[in-house]
Amino acid sequence: MLCTCGFTVPAGIGLAVSDRLASSRPKGAGVVGAIAQLTPPLVAVVALLLA
């Protein structure tokens, strides 16, 4: 679980950065997708670290 989330969190950060740089579509179009990808694994990593 930690390994999977450990890879998914940086991927979500990379997605957010590429959205801010407007790499593939108009700037700001993928904000919701970046948040949706980043939030669940980030919550899981924090919960595992606090447990």
Both tokens assigned to 27: 């700037």
Measure the CA–CA gap between 47 and 16, rounded to whole angstroms: 22
Which residue is associated with the tokens 């939030």? Answer: 39
pLDDT digits (tens, 9 = 90+) for 28-48: 677 787 888 888 888 988 898
Entry pTM: 0.68
Residue 26 has pLDDT above 80, yes or no: no
Measure the CA–CA gap between 18 and 38, rounded to whole angstroms: 14
Both tokens assigned to 30: 């993928």
Instruction: Show me where the domains of the chain are located.
Output: 2-50
Which residue is associated with the tokens 């990379």? Answer: 14
Measure the CA–CA gap between 27 and 44, rounded to whole angstroms: 28
Would you give the DSSP letter of residue 25?
S
